[in-house]
Amino acid sequence: MEILALGVQADEKPLLERAFTGHHALRCLDVFLTEDTAPIAAGYEVISTSVNADLGPRVLETLAAGGTRMVAQRSTGFNNIDLATAESLGLTIARVSYYSPYAVAEFAWTLAMAVNRRIVRASTRTRDFDFRLDGLMGRDMHGRTAGVLGTGKIGTAFARIAHGFGMRLLGWDVAENPACTQLGMRYVSKEQLLAESDLVTLHVPLMPETRHLVDAAALKGMKDDAILVNSSRGGLVDTAALVTELRAGRFTGVGLDVYEAEAGLFFLDKSLSAVEDDTLARLVTFPNVLVTSHQAYYTVEAVGQIVDATVKNVLDYTAGRRSENVLVPRS
């Protein structure tokens, strides 16, 4: 059987090809799954998709009509998949339930420190042989407060790094994590966490209950000089409200690796196109904002684990096995 993998990055392709060797043939395409590209999958029983694939009702119906029976998504998040429609169509859906939490946690810290110490501005200056320090003053993290919204594997990894900096830890989640409380983390309400934290980081899944978790009211409840980092899902932050606060001169820095309207933008070269997203265009103009294109997971270790899990998901499907990665089982 030949597997069709869509939205494959150049660095990812050799890892996928090597992992599938000896199991199934593999065709890799760099195009992303959308309503326009879904017909490409006709004749492929199994396809693999990337995190920004459109797996809404119309796409799923096109896939099913073309003979697709299994979708193996190469990500942990699955907010882009209409699971009810998939089940009604008899499609098997699997994801990657785990990969290196250190990849995302370390990148979140990279964003935090980059905006805190004005790294991008400093690098741009020195390229022009401008070695002034004006406007580059940052702050020690030691002794300050880190607020972690979501204390699962990634949030815990972030908290351990914060503990190493000598920071006070506040946490918010549906349940306390003993690994975090052992670090000295104190669980508080979201409102208290936002009000007291110098650094706020998001590590929760995107669900209807968490969409715009950081909304206009939450942003207004944060310290004026706080740092906000989101390396989880773009929809957790109300971006329009964030722009409003930034225009008012608030926040020391904002580091975003995700954006709520990133589908159709991130992972693509739009450098020669007119920017149609006015919110994103405004967001990247702020000197205290750093936006990256959903790359927090993009390490050799994490991508390798994602690829291995994807291969296992396909092999489980063909063998009729079910694992913790299956969101919609084989009918």
Instruction: Report the alpha-carbon distance of residue 194 to residue 228 in Å, rounded.
Output: 10
Integer Cα distance of 76 and 258 in angstroms: 14
Q: How far is CA 155 from the centre of its chain?
A: 13
Q: List phi, psi (to 5°) of 256.
A: -125, 120
- Nearest 10 degrees: CA dihedral of 322, 6, 103, 236? -90
Which three-class secondary structure state does DSSP give residue 31? coil
The catalytically annotated residue of 233, 245, 250, 260 is 233
Task: Answer yes or no: are the C-beta atoms of 71 and 327 closer than 8 Å.
Answer: no
End-to-end CA distance of the chain: 19
Dist. CA 165–CA 105, nearest whole Å: 14
Residue 24 known to be catalytic: no
163 is catalytic: no
Catalytic member of 95, 118, 203, 294: 294
Matching residue, tokens 């096995």 = 321
Among residues 66, 11, 19, 73, the alpha carbon closest in space to that of 47 is found at 73
Residue 124, classified by CB atoms within 10 Å of its CB into exposed (0-12), middle (13-18) or buried (19+), is: exposed
Q: 233 catalytic, yes or no?
A: yes
What is the rounded distance in angstroms from the CA atom of residue 111 to the CA atom of residue 139? 14
- The H or E element spanning position 12 is none
Six-digit token string for 215: 């909304």
Instruction: Report CA 247 to chain centroid distance, whole Å.
Output: 25
Alpha carbon 8 to its chain centroid, in Å, reads 16
Q: Which H helix or E strand runs over 331?
A: none
Concatenate the DSSP letters of all residues of 88-117 into one string: HTT-EEE------HHHHHHHHHHHHHHHHT
Residues with a catalytic annotation lie at 233, 262, 294
